[in-house]
Structures are given as C-alpha cells and as structure tokens.
A and B are shown apart, each in its own frame.
Chain A
Amino acid sequence: MSEQPPIHLTLDGQLITVEPGSTVAVAIAIAGRPCRTSITGEPRGPLCAMGICFECRATINGIAHRRTCQVVCEPGMDIVTQ
C-alpha cells in the first residue's frame, strides 16, 4: 500500500525499520519487546491503545512517559523502553 520508504529509528539503541504511519507502540511490538517493566517486574504492553491506560509509555527523543500508541514513528526517532 505504501509508496513511501520505510522509516529507520532506534529502539533501546538498536536500529529498527518500520512501515511509515506505524505508531511507536506498534514498532515496539514488532520488535518483540514490552513497552515497560512494571514496579513488580512484569513486562507490559499496550492495553487500551487509545491513550488512557499509560501501559505503553516509553521515552521518545528524551521525553519520558510518552504514550507510544498516540505517536506516529518519524525517521531518526530515539525510543527507550522503561
């Protein structure tokens, strides 16, 4: 469907590639990683995918606690899971 080139970004220091238009939550899921680790050490991924639950939060370009389900991937983004 897409005629735009794929997007390259870094996730926890590793270069990853996603289709344009993907959200950061999707990029993290495709990489097979949890978005965050809970306070008792459980891996967590998105629950609501609509900006309510904050389970998908991660650090994007140095700003912590971004809701990754609400953010579309951009070239060169630096994502760090929490």
Chain B
Amino acid sequence: MSYPVQPEHFQTLVVGAGPAGIAAAVSAAEAGSRVALIDDNPEPGGQIWRAERNHPGPDTTHGGNAAHWRNRLAAAPVTRLQGWSVFDQPDPMTLRAEREGVAADFSADRIILATGARERFLPFPGWTLPNVMGVGALQAMVKSGLPIRGKRVVIAGSGPLLLAVAHTLHAAGANVVAIAEQASLASLAAFTASLATSPAKLLQGLRYKAATLGVPYHTGSWPLRAHGTGRVTSVVLSLKERTHEIPCDYLACGFHLVPNIELPAMLGCRIEDGFVAVDDLQHTSVSGIFCAGEPTGIAGLEASLLEGEIAGLAAANRTAKAQHLVPRKQAASRFAARLARAFSLRPELKSIPQDNTIVCRCEDVTLDGLRPHPTWRAAKLHTRCGMGPCQGRICGSATAFLLDWNPGSVRPPMLPTLVSSLTSTEAPD
C-alpha cells in the first residue's frame, strides 16, 4: 500500500449520486465547473432510481423525469467515482474515501453533500429474523436479482414508500398479501385535504392503487411481532384493536425515512431539529459546503431535484440562475412538513418491543439492557449499544423514538474502515 499522494482536486465534489446529487453534479458541470460525483453504490441513481440488475444507470421507471437526468448525466463532463465510501476529512475541503480496501483523497473548492435518507427501523419481537427487512430494502434486493415471483410479502410501517414498493413487487410477480400503514385514516385524510395546491386526492389514489393490486391497505395497523425459525414465516399485525397473524415469506417493514446527516455533521455543518440547516441557495453553516435533498428535510423527489440544481448552480457561481429556482423549491419543501405530520409515529409503537427484544443489532443489546441508562452516551459506554459496525445508524433512530435519546456527535472514521485505509492512500484508478 503506497503512502499519501496528492489528493485529486476538483472545483466541485458532490457526495451521493441519488436524484439530488445527480442534479447538483449535472448543473455544476453544465455551468463549467470541473465536477466529481462520488457514491458508495455500484451505479448512480440512489435509492429511488436504483439501477435494475443488468441495466446500468438510474432506473427510469419511478418518476422525476429520471431518463432526462440520466441522459444529462451521461452527457455532462462529470468524473464518476462509484463504489467509494467517504469516511474521513483529512483537511477542511478534502474528503477521504475507501473502495475495496484502498483509500484515496479528493479535494475541492466546493463540496455538495447529497447523502440522502435511510429507512427508520423500529424494533419488534422477531425483527432480527432473516427475510424481515426494510420496505425500500426489499425493493432494492429485488432490483439486485432476488427472485420474488410467487413469494408472499407483507409490507408494513409508514410512509408513501409502502404503496410504491407494493407496486414494484406486484409487477415483479410477488404475492403482496397485506399493506399495514401505522398512520390513522384521519391523519392521512388531513394530509390529503392540506394539499391545497395539488388536490391530487392522494388518499383516494392510495386506496385505488391498492385496490387495483387486490391488496388490503390497512391504516392504523402495525406489526406486533414476527415468527419464524431461521427466517420469518408469519407476522402478527395489530388491526382495529384485534390481532391478525398472516403467513409470509418476507416482511418488508420501515417507518418512513430519516436523513443521512452523519457526513454533514462530521464536517461541522449546523444541524437543526435533526436536519442540515441551509440557506436559500443550499449553503450550509460551513463556508464552501452545500447540502441538497433529504438531509435538509424529507420532502421527496421533486424538492430533492430542485435543491440539487440550486446547489450545483450556486457552487458554480451561477447565483442568479440558482435564485430563480428558489420559489419552486420552497413550494416543494412545504410538502415536507405536511408529510411529516401525516406519517408521524403513533405513541403505541413505543410499547411494541418487549424487555428481551434486541434494539442494537450489531451488539445484540436488548431493551431492558438500555432502560437503566439516562442517555445515549451512557448506554453506549455501558452496553456497547451503537458501538458496532453501523455506529448507531439503525439503533440511534430507534432509541431517539423509543427513549427520547439524542444521538451524539459524529467523529471520523464514520464507517468501519480497514486499518490499511486509515494509514495510507492511493491515487484512484
């Protein structure tokens, strides 16, 4: 392994190749900036535009004019760095990343963070069984080649993703036997009514879509426990103060989304109410560092694309052009607050995990092991909760909800990293 070489330098370095990152990279490159787009997946697209197996490049079947952005990305002079995971910041405008045990440094005049969101996972008895996974996770596995035809799937949790994934899985031949949304019918109805500018009749839309799949769409319903030995074989859902046990081959369960703010936090960006604080032009509290997409608020695809465009243009000093997009972004972002309200978690979910339910999957720490501790930090020190490879990304979101704990600061390395990567860097291919 060779020792530090001069970092490769770009005018704009974009982290994350989902919709926001693609829009940022393309907008900055088209404005003349020398751009690199770094991402830890094998292909660009992020989660919503995740590539289908054997179809390189973003999946264009999930809206947001993905084909348009894919073509612009293909045409733009953007250096693509796929498969690289950023884990450290050796100096303020340099990021250190790893791929297959090799580390390299990338420096830039401007950095745009488009790190996306992940699913929120809440523990329940049986949630650690194989074939219990996230909603987006099962979709990603199917896109990556998992055979799903004829398999019985229960989709549970919360958020617009549930129905979108039901459609994808149905189309792939899965037998989607039930969808369980924890939010109440009243909450979803209020959400629909609040969409004054787009009376899209979302709720009716949801139910209509579920009906066309022939799948029951339950509101006010959530998983109480999963059963199985070696893998899940059934799930017990709470439904109208009763319980229903439903046999299944897969339980896809995720409770809406939480932002990936670990990298922005490590770089010193100010975090407000769990999201990265930005100004109109997506500039964070750190000079030269921008943030776009879900880390600034879970607002969906349209807002992510607009924020990416604004950040890319602003990073390339096209301020007037960026400013022109701000009103549209603000309208799209207002959707975020409504979305959060509609799909806010009901308190009953806090009582689903039992004393012996594992909360931290890396270190197998159970709920009764955590309860004696007053804070996240105390629990980490005494139980190793959040000290495993995921570094609290899964259990931190869970304990924030279950125990009202605040996850602490982020320090490098922000991912488990080979010692060889911590001590050396090489020029990338």
Contacts of A26 in B (CB 8 A): 141, 144-146
Let me know if B416 and A69 touch, CB within 8 A: no
With A21-B145, A47-B361, A71-B42 in contact, is A53–B394 under 8 Å at CB? yes
CA distance A26 to B54 in the complex (A): 14
Contacts of B53 in A (CB 8 A): 19-22
Q: Contact check: which of A38, A47, A52, A63 meets B100 at CB < 8 Å?
A: A63
Closest to B230 in A: A43
Q: Contact check: which of A18, A52, A54 meets B416 at CB < 8 Å?
A: A54
Let me know if A23 and B145 touch, CB within 8 A: yes
Q: Contact check: which of A43, A52, A63 meets B118 at CB < 8 Å?
A: A52
CA distance A2 to B119 in the complex (A): 31
- State which size class the interface on A falls in: 35 or more
With A49-B136, A50-B140, A53-B393 in contact, is A34–B130 under 8 Å at CB? yes
CA distance A69 to B191 in the complex (A): 35
A-B interface contact total, Cβ < 8 Å? 118
Let me know if A70 and B40 touch, CB within 8 A: yes
Interface check A40, CB cutoff 8 A: yes
Q: Which of A43-73 contact B (CB under 8 A)?
A: 43-55, 57, 63, 65, 69-72
Contacts of A54 in B (CB 8 A): 362, 388-390, 416
Contacts of A19 in B (CB 8 A): 53-54, 145
Q: Contact check: which of A22, A38, A51 meets B128 at CB < 8 Å?
A: A38
Let me know if A46 and B83 touch, CB within 8 A: no
B89 CB to closest chain A CB (Å) equals 19
Q: Contact check: which of A2, A38, A48 meets B133 at CB < 8 Å?
A: A48
Let me know if A29 and B136 touch, CB within 8 A: no
CA distance A25 to B71 in the complex (A): 29
Interface check A14, CB cutoff 8 A: no
**Contact flags (1/0) for B112-140 with A, using CB distance below 8 Å?**
00000011010000001011111011101
Contacts of A22 in B (CB 8 A): 53, 144-145
Q: Contact check: which of B54, B128, B363 meets A42 at CB < 8 Å?
A: B128
Interface check A39, CB cutoff 8 A: yes
CA distance A70 to B389 in the complex (A): 15
**Contact flags (1/0) for B31-68 with A, using CB distance below 8 Å?**
00000000011100001000001100000000000000
Overall SS of chain B's interface? loop
The interface on chain B, measured as residues whose beta carbon lies within 8 A of the other chain's beta carbons, has a size of: 43
Contacts of B374 in A (CB 8 A): none
Let me know if A1 and B54 touch, CB within 8 A: yes
Let me know if A38 and B364 touch, CB within 8 A: yes
CA distance A19 to B146 in the complex (A): 10
Let me know if A69 and B128 touch, CB within 8 A: no
With A21-B145, A46-B133 in contact, is A52–B393 under 8 Å at CB? yes
Interface check B147, CB cutoff 8 A: yes
Closest to A35 in B: B130
Q: Contact check: which of A43, A45, A65, A69 meets B140 at CB < 8 Å?
A: A69
Let me know if A50 and B133 touch, CB within 8 A: no
Interface check B101, CB cutoff 8 A: yes
With A26-B146, A70-B83 in contact, is A51–B130 under 8 Å at CB? no
Contacts of B119 in A (CB 8 A): 48
Let me know if B134 and A47 touch, CB within 8 A: yes
Given A29-B146, A49-B144, 19 extra CB contacts under 8 A: A20-B54, A21-B53, A22-B53, A23-B42, A23-B144, A25-B144, A30-B146, A40-B364, A42-B128, A46-B133, A47-B394, A48-B118, A48-B137, A48-B394, A49-B138, A50-B41, A50-B140, A52-B390, A63-B418
14 residue pairs A–B, Cβ–Cβ below 8 Å: A21-B53, A22-B53, A23-B144, A26-B144, A30-B145, A42-B364, A45-B133, A47-B137, A48-B121, A50-B137, A57-B389, A65-B416, A69-B141, A70-B42
Per CB-CB distance, the 7 closest pairs between chain A and chain B, nearest first, are A22-B145, A45-B130, A21-B53, A49-B137, A54-B389, A21-B54, A49-B140
Task: Give residues in B with beta carbon < 8 Å to A.
Answer: 40-42, 47, 53-54, 83, 85, 100-101, 118-119, 121, 128, 130-134, 136-138, 140-141, 144-147, 230-231, 260, 358, 361-364, 388-390, 393-394, 416, 418
